[in-house]
Structure 1
Amino acid sequence: MSGLPESSSRSSLPSDLNFELMNFDRRKRDARDIVSSFDLHTLPSEFDPDSYQRITVEQSTRPSFEWTVAGDLWATFMRWIVHDPICWDFANRCQPTETRAQLFAEKLRRRFQQEFDRYDELPHHTAPGLEVQPSSPAHASFIVAQVAEIANKIHSLVAAALTDLQDRAVGRGGTVKVLLGALEAICRRCENISPVSPERDQSPSGTEVRISLYDVLVGQPPPATPNMILQALERASEMSPGILSKMKTEFETIGRVLPANTPLTYLQQFQNLSAQAGATM
């Protein structure tokens, strides 16, 4: 790969991407970001973790032919991007920083939408392999388990977004906008989808058991569950002061659809972020 033409000269890249001036960990993160940007589904933090962990400083001192992984183009490409300055320049020209940020935001939006679509289909599904009435407790248990699984997937996506916000200095606004869109979608999915009638769907204390994505993630989350989307937005604001000021419309839209039973602590945290955006509640 060091035989690439001279037109791939490092002088074509911004000074902040100079191979010699960039530390190993940053090159490694960017290499994974570049390679994963060619995948329409997998986020950088999910991309081939084993191959990623095997990229080391010591590896860079070995003969370059040892960087090639037989039968694995992407693992090979990651190694060469990290260790070889000409390959580094070539890869960054193929997928510039701004392009990768946009691709990440689009990918994250699609991944969230997949979970929302899956949730929206739940009222039309029955537990596979179980011949039960749609209004039976067994089917209700199936719905509860499915909602919990979707909520966990959403938590994982938010965690991946937070990691990306911390790693990516350029293009954070796109990720913030996707997170706000996800929060709006969660708030709009606040209707009870329990297949059991209210008089039968009771907790031991006698109160109605509600099943909704909003309740699991915001309204009545499991104990000690962090407000992950709001935490990610706070972190973005710390790293890029003023970034929320461009999201006034998004905050005002969420403010209009927040259910009345939103917990006070969550509401206060959201209002603090809204104030940074200049939004009125």
Structure 2
Amino acid sequence: MLNYDHLKQLGIDPAFFMEVTRNVNATARMDNPHVEEDDKVYQEARGEFINELRESFDGDNALRCEKCGLVIPSGYHIHHKDGDHTNNDKSNFSLRDPFCHLSSHLGFVGVNNMASVVYVPQIPQAVLNQIQIISYAFDHVVSTVNQSSKKFTLLKRQKADLDTLMSAVKATKGVVYRNFQTNDPLHFANIFAMMTEDEYLARAFKTDSANQLAEIGTFAGLRLLFEPSKFETEIKSFARYILIQDNETNQHNPAAWFDAAKLLKQKRHG
């Protein structure tokens, strides 16, 4: 059973589930006749929002996704909580990594063939989003490492472990198709949009008799598996600024993990 309290302590929202905009008064950016005017307001408010977040980290410039806790100093998205892109009040903003942002725009994801629906009840969507972007960024890092480097063998082995996990996730598409006859996010978006408010709130999570959160709704366990080819810019950005492949002395660089592991081993046996 998942420890929801522990996930929350790590800055992860364990109840985060794929969403649709249900605000009937919301205006999408593409439907806004005053998009140029509103975009100026948005950019100004966005800048203030980001600066305030940076200041809240007490000098740490690392920005974190509000759903999965992933550090995203570059390539982050701003989500409008109420779905209305004309509402550019800073209280309506949520800082997200690309996958957590688009998990709240299920219809858009489906229309643009950006993901498939899989069945992974053991891994919350927020955690799976972390795993996906790290795995895809790792693919990029390994493809750029010199194969004659002593680190390459280790990195390749770690990549194989990630590939095994991702293959297991992809294999669950069949479970979803057997139960719902589709893996298309757009089909699920249409269903969610037609639900009553009570049905929508209980689509995946409910509070059990002990007042504990439990994933037992009709659509429990469904997750979005994103298509990496649709996020090449974001993945490369994450690889460069988080894994920091250009600076081998940085602790977040995969090339430095090998030496860090040896040092840890020496300390444990010293």
The answer to whether the superposition gives a TM-score over 0.5 is no
- Greater share of residues in strand: 2
TM-score after normalising by structure 1:
0.22
Could you state the TM-score of these two structures normalised by the residue count of structure 2? Answer: 0.23
- The higher relative CO (CA closer than 8 Å, separation ≥ 6) is in 2
